A and B are shown apart, each in its own frame.
Chain A
Amino acid sequence: MADHYSSFERGGKRWFLQRITAVFLIGVLAFHFVLLHFVNHAAEIEFAGTQARMGNVGYFSLMWTFLVTATFHGVNGVYNALVNQGLDGTQKKVVAAVLTVASLLLILQGTRVALAMSGVL
């Protein structure tokens, strides 16, 4: 067990990032909810309104960062939960790969959506 000493990379960095993203997400998720359910009611959302918001560079970058951090936080959380249940060996590698690919696709698609919303695409 103790024969291989692992570096910070083995778990500590992801643990730390999970906390840092959490702090960020607490604020942004709350903001997102308030903005799109209470300030603007979800039922009244139209493309125009979305485009207006996304046209703002600050809002756009906030939402894009939201996407990336949420994806990391969520997917990393899923991965940890699986590892905690004893996922190991090849299985673990496969799951890690699948989750990474899924994350990248999500971010890619999310970025496309965001660009479409901001009217760039």
Chain B
Amino acid sequence: MSTQIEEQRETEEEVETEPETESPGERRRAVKRERAAQREQEVETALDEAEETVELKVFRYDPEVADKEEPRFDSFTVPYHKGMTVLDALIYARDVYDSSLTFRHSCRQAVCGSDALFVNGRQRLGCKTQMGDLEWPVRIEPLPHQDVVKDLVVDMEHFYEQMHAVEPYFDPDETPDGELEEQRQTPENREKIKLSTRCIWCGACMSSCNIAAGDNKYLGPAAINKAYRFAMDEREGESRKEERLRIVEQEHGVWRCQTQFSCTEVCPKDIPLTEHIQELKREAIKSNLKFW
């Protein structure tokens, strides 16, 4: 212990004295070189020690950086361990090889919906996709059908606009009088909307949808599912439900769905999106035919 403290003191003294002879910039570069050499060593050992390594082919694009203006794929070799997710591999590549590798991520447990990516030709959440379940090398691209801001980051603005277009908020015909009076909801009704409430706004469904790709005005599976979540909630009341149906039955609403099931297949929360869209179509027809 004591020796460690002394070593520590020495380094501190160095810090105190060295700036006299070296400029901060020089020192910084020296430290950087030292760290870089050390890091290279560490990476080599890590790659040697790892029983397996896996190659990532990652889409790169940055409108501001000369050699990234034209999109390209970069390869990273990452040591593999059991349980490694696509997100883990990307973080390794970024922290060890290239700190400019850009992607959204936060919770790492499939609830924040930040890291929907196009992995080996399919929309998946990076954090809940096991590297071991994929074919190697693993190709990672930003979500298709959305503009790329940089590397794996896509512009989500349009997705959010569509979500907001369905008036995605609880808005009952009437609320209970008493301050501590709750609205009643049957367990069956809660069960009916349960799956639809699981949406994490990751955008995988929208990206997988051929119709949304061609028709920019199409509300898309996520937004329609959001409308379903409220239209089917018995607490809101009949007149609000009618209004909600009117929103989704516009020309670029539910009718555009061609039941390709691509959204349902990629949904990381297993929401039966196509089923919900179909049910809203029937609800809309029923409410318009009236005699059903």
- The answer to whether A and B touch in the complex, with CB atoms under 8 Å apart, is yes
* B contact face: mostly helix, strand, loop, or mixed: helix
In the complex the two chains form, is B249's CB within 8 Å of A86's CB? no
User: What separation, in Å, do the CA atoms of A116 and B166 have in the docked complex?
Assistant: 54
In the complex the two chains form, is B215's CB within 8 Å of A85's CB? yes
Q: What is the size category of the interface that chain B forms with chain A?
A: 20 to 34
User: What separation, in Å, do the CA atoms of A14 and B215 have in the docked complex?
Assistant: 18
- Residues from chain B with a CB closer than 8 A to the CB of A2 are 165-167, 247
Residue A102 is within 8 A (CB to CB) of chain B in the complex: no
Interface flags for A2-23 (1: CB within 8 Å of B; 0: not) read: 1011111011111110000000
Given A6-B251, A12-B255, A83-B251, 11 more pairs with CB closer than 8 A: A1-B161, A5-B250, A6-B250, A10-B249, A11-B251, A11-B255, A12-B249, A84-B210, A84-B256, A85-B214, A86-B215
Name which of A4, A10, A11 has the most chain B CB atoms within 10 A of its CB. A11
Chain A, Cβ-Cβ closest to B165: A1
Residue B284 is within 8 A (CB to CB) of chain A in the complex: yes
Residue B253 is within 8 A (CB to CB) of chain A in the complex: yes
Q: Can you give 7 contacting A-B residue pairs, CB < 8 Å? A: A2-B166, A5-B246, A12-B284, A83-B215, A83-B256, A84-B210, A85-B214
Name which of B161, B165, B252 has the most chain A CB atoms within 10 A of its CB. B252
Shortest C-beta distance, B36 to chain A (Å), equals 49
Name which of B165, B249, B281 has the most chain A CB atoms within 10 A of its CB. B249
- Residues from chain A with a CB closer than 8 A to the CB of B246 are 5-7
User: What separation, in Å, do the CA atoms of A11 and B219 have in the docked complex?
Assistant: 14
In the complex the two chains form, is B247's CB within 8 Å of A86's CB? no
Given A6-B246, A10-B251, A12-B249, A84:B166 Cβ within 8 A: no
User: What separation, in Å, do the CA atoms of A15 and B257 have in the docked complex?
Assistant: 11
Interface flags for B244-274 (1: CB within 8 Å of A; 0: not) read: 0011011111011010000000000000000
Shortest C-beta distance, A5 to chain B (Å), equals 5
In the complex the two chains form, is B285's CB within 8 Å of A12's CB? yes
- Residues from chain A with a CB closer than 8 A to the CB of B256 are 11, 83-84
- Residues from chain B with a CB closer than 8 A to the CB of A15 are 255, 281, 285
Interface flags for B131-165 (1: CB within 8 Å of A; 0: not) read: 00000000000000000000000000000011001
Shortest C-beta distance, B251 to chain A (Å), equals 4
Residue B217 is within 8 A (CB to CB) of chain A in the complex: yes
Residue B288 is within 8 A (CB to CB) of chain A in the complex: yes
Contact for A11 among B214, B243, B253, B258, CB less than 8 A = B253
Q: Which of A30-51 contact B (CB under 8 A)?
A: none
In the complex the two chains form, is B162's CB within 8 Å of A8's CB? no
In the complex the two chains form, is B285's CB within 8 Å of A86's CB? no
Shortest C-beta distance, A114 to chain B (Å), equals 32
- Residues from chain A with a CB closer than 8 A to the CB of B288 are 8, 12-13
Residue B211 is within 8 A (CB to CB) of chain A in the complex: yes
Shortest C-beta distance, B258 to chain A (Å), equals 7
In the complex the two chains form, is A6's CB within 8 Å of B162's CB? no
Shortest C-beta distance, B209 to chain A (Å), equals 10
